[in-house]
Amino acid sequence: MKKPFLFLLVGIATMFTSCEKINPNNLNTPEGVTNVKNLVSEKFGTDLSVVNLMLSASEDLSSDIGLVNVYYTKDGKTYKRTYMDYPSVDPVLEDEEESKFHKDAKGSVKLADLDFGMLTKYFGEATKMIGDKYEGFQMSSWTFDISDDNKTSANFKIQATEVGEGTSMEGRNIVTNFYEFEFEVDEEGNLVADA
């Protein structure tokens, strides 16, 4: 009686883990960034002139895309559209809504002209700046900002765990300490770590 029950449990566990959602749209790898660019282009259109584009991971210590906010101007007003793709829900593209942010934006860049290659370039440079005291680097967010003279700058966050500092149990909770590092890329392409 024990063996069939054990096989049933293993089968059910395998079914749940194999049905887990896999997100190829991540912010860490060149392939993932290409997928993110294609996703953004598909959902919002390459001709959309944006003043700000925010990409955020679906959860902490992950680089899988979960949220995309696009801010753009139309008829003298600033609008926002949001795409969400979290592991526990079906992807959704929200309707356009007027935004309280970026109201005075004068510059813009077409989505097709944003350099998504910046993500992997500066991710690599930033992880070298952080050093080898940390591991498991994950880009948790990236934001393109467009200045009034149509120049692009960016800011982003990387999360990591300290080498040797593992996951622990505190009561019934599994706890993982992680650290967040913030960076900026100015209009000239200089990478600066925020204090």
| The pLDDT of residue 195 | 65
Q: What is the dihedral of CA 58, 64, 66, 69, to 10 degrees?
A: 120
Residues 85-103 as b or e (16 or more Cβ within 10 Å = b): bbeeeeeeeeeeeebeebe
pLDDT digits 0-9 by tens, 57-103 = 999 999 999 999 999 988 888 999 999 998 888 899 999 999 988 87
| The pLDDT of residue 5 | 45
Q: Provide the residue ranges of all domains of the chain, joining segments of one domain with +.
A: 25-193
Nearest to 105 by CA among 174, 51, 159: 51
Q: Does residue 159 or residue 74 have the better pLDDT?
A: 159
Rounded to 10°, the helix 117-130/30-44 angle is 140
d(CA 54, CA 70): 7
**Mean pLDDT over each residue of the chain, to the nearest integer:** 88
pLDDT bucket at 44, cuts 50 / 70 / 90: very high
Q: Quick check: 181 pLDDT over 90?
A: yes
pLDDT digits 0-9 by tens, 25-42 = 889 999 999 999 999 999
